[in-house]
Chains A and B, each alone.
Chain A
């Protein structure tokens, strides 16, 4: 096979970028050289920005717009070659240090103090640094993505949206809110349960409550998002309104992860694994959230009008109501998915019952409630979403977390499957089975399997990125909000 040659300017900008990264981590060393660390950090970030924008220019500007995936299946970095392993290792190492050995990052963190001071009035923390780098990545690679897909208005608008939500909602607003009201915990308005699974944690609720009306307002908004706003939007537009237009994890995957989307495994086997994982995580997160609220209520019997048992009963009735609704409205689906549905409901009901009898103030199922939280936080919040989810982009594709681990995607996916007007329509018999759509679907959906049978694609995991429709050389696929939500199995 041919060895793909990058151009000299692409190589030069890559080198520049690596230099910038090196400088960033070395910025602590600068202090001993009496160079202000903020100057070093500033230059490092500028170098990185220059590198990404320059690389974009070198790669796409000489060509007219159109789908440009040349050599993706050949290049070492994008086809699991040496460079892919090197970058996966480096990214993973960064996450491990960030989560568990942040002391090593101390000098680098200090380099961000002046930026942090100007936003929130507080010195930088490791999470501020992470947030800043994350946002920068989405913005810069967002520009790259927009240039690459500049012929498609859907892609351009969607990417601008992702960049906007990351910069304003995830990064700037929480910092400003912290300046306005020091008691307020970090709150990303666009992030909702179960993504911010800590929303209902005792300490979190308390700090909201102590932040008075703004805090209570935010808490109410959080609850409203889950039960009202999100289902309505998903009904109208599919889960894409969140996963590929708003979400930060999705934002990074779409922009920085764009070069790796074809690595997502689209075998039937991985689809099976995906369903197992996503359903288990859904059950786990529901149980542990209910458990935490339950023990919080046990702890504060006087403060709230709702008693722990009434709370559990309410949750159970909600569950029953949802199941009944699905049974009456989507019988065909239930018939097909009966086993899965029964297992999920069974485990949940058993869980709630167990909770009622086996929990006290500090224990859920006889397990200390905070250890349950921290175990989830560790395995799902840190290891999965960070280390594997982002660190393994060059090996497993850019949406591993979204596909196998994200509880939010699981809930939205269920909604998408059961009641949404969103689907990907196939243009009758036009498919030539070339495989571009399946290869470039970051969620590992075998789009071609549907397209070559002239069937519409209505899959729970589809995040509506629209790339399948973009890479299809025959214009076979179209994302639409006009499907009849009733006819589907």
Chain B
């Protein structure tokens, strides 16, 4: 029986732990500092808004953990000794523990990224990643009586969730973004505009082309606003920072493991040390698919890596393959799904063509990317429209043409029953666009 230590009980660590514990080959130790039970980080906004209790976000009933042979340890790993194959753990409320492993899996996830701003320590400034962040945000923003104005710095997916959270408590929210349009670092302009219009329709002001220089305070304790790079100032009682996340691996700096931004891993998710693996947000692939990135901090990737590593450890060599990119999000009430590759303005090559359609109210929209000459379908962004993943994966596998995709679009329909059918209008636009 091999001793497997897993650091981090997020989706990557927890999925792996459950998979491995079903096999008699392993004794699994799951070490995490954040919470006793695996909860869904993606649902933190719903806890804040009162849609769910924290317990309801736990993907498995507590009994599943209590009845499993997994040894769960609440604590923070502070050092890794590779020569002795030993971890040093500061246990939650109860001292230090040394733990030996045969196999170590690091799944410590991310932490919010901050720039070298002055005054980030002020009360009323927070990122959103860990439970402790949520507690902080909760205490700073009880209601619009405590907090009338809030700013969100950065406009990614977590930023928009922060904005929705604050908005639900009737707090006036502005989003400060560096780009000219919301999330145009990822979305083509047609789509970024659609999302931005939606945000504005919900009462959120998007302040574009803006960079933050630092945080302001009246009393040296609480934040009172931000200073922008043009030296103007904005008032706020809360500032949410969401300019991205970075791997949570500072405890490994002296371990001698090969690190870049994340922990470098090969196609078996193995680090520079044979007995040590890394999965989830903290793992960076040495060699990634040209269409994908080496570091992908999303839920799905973390889960897929955990499944791939389980197979590798249980049944022998198994290669983690990135496959077709997909992701989804929700901007207030506007759902977003993407399959395959749709480049934004900056990254788009001349050969990549886009066909964009949206309805007049701008509540539904679709962008299809394809190669100009071969008409090879590359990918789709959908807004306010639900599309079937399996159908799109099939088209991408088969190298389907854009014409096939448009013609058979109904087969990918995943909207709720009785929804208005938009495909006729879309096809019409496609035909007139092509002629």
Contact = CB atoms under 8 A, between A and B. Distances in A.
Interface of A: 1-2, 4-5, 64-67, 69-75, 79, 151-154, 157, 262, 267-268, 427-430, 432-436, 438-439, 446, 448, 452, 466, 469-471, 473-475, 478-479
Nearest to B420: A153
Given A4-B50, A74-B50, 16 more contacts: A2-B138, A71-B49, A73-B47, A154-B416, A432-B42, A432-B43, A433-B42, A433-B299, A434-B42, A435-B40, A439-B51, A452-B59, A473-B330, A474-B330, A475-B386, A478-B417
Interface residues of B, number: 47
Interface of B: 11, 40, 42-43, 46-47, 49-53, 56-59, 61, 63, 138, 142-143, 168, 201-202, 299-300, 303-304, 326, 328-330, 332-333, 335, 337, 386, 388-390, 393, 414-420
Contacts of B43: 432-436
Most buried by B among A69, A73, A262, A435: A435
B143 A153 contact: no
B46 A478 contact: no
B333 A67 contact: yes
Nearest to A473: B330
B416 A478 contact: yes
Most buried by A among B332, B390, B393, B414: B414
Nearest to A7: B170
Contacts of B303: 429
Contacts of A262: 56
Contacts of B330: 473-474
Nearest to B418: A153
A475 B414 contact: yes
Contact of B418 (A72, A154, A434): A154
27 contacts: A2-B138, A2-B142, A4-B50, A66-B332, A67-B333, A69-B50, A71-B49, A74-B50, A153-B420, A154-B418, A262-B56, A427-B389, A427-B390, A429-B326, A430-B300, A432-B43, A432-B299, A432-B300, A434-B57, A435-B46, A435-B52, A435-B57, A448-B59, A466-B417, A469-B416, A473-B335, A474-B330
A401 B43 CA distance: 30
A72 B51 contact: yes
Contact of B328 (A64, A69, A153, A430): A430
Contact of A73 (B11, B52, B414, B419): B52
Contact of B58 (A66, A67, A435): A435
Contacts of B51: 69-70, 72-73, 436, 439, 471
Nearest to B201: A64
A152 B386 CA distance: 13
A70 B142 contact: no
Given A154-B416, A267-B61, A434 B389 contact: no
Contacts of A154: 416-419
Nearest to A464: B417
Given A66-B333, A70-B49, A432-B40, A268 B61 contact: yes
A434 B161 CA distance: 14
Contacts of A428: 388-390, 393
B119 to A, nearest CB: 26
Contacts of B333: 64-67, 151
B219 to A, nearest CB: 24
A5 B143 CA distance: 9
A70 B416 contact: no
Given A427-B388, A433-B42, A475-B386, A70 B59 contact: no
B388 A71 contact: no
B349 to A, nearest CB: 28
Given A70-B51, A74-B50, A439 B416 contact: no
Contacts of B304: 429
Contacts of A72: 50-51
B50 A435 contact: no
A4 B59 CA distance: 26
Given A151-B333, A475-B337, A73 B328 contact: no
Contacts of A474: 328-330, 335, 337
| Leading 5 A-B pairs by shortest Cβ distance | A66-B333, A434-B43, A475-B386, A71-B50, A428-B389
Given A64-B202, A428-B389, A433 B59 contact: yes
A71 B300 CA distance: 28
Nearest to B298: A432
Contacts of B53: 73, 79
Contact of A430 (B56, B58, B389): B389
Contact of A439 (B52, B326, B389, B418): B52
A358 B218 CA distance: 89
A390 B142 CA distance: 34
A74 B417 CA distance: 31
B300 A429 contact: yes
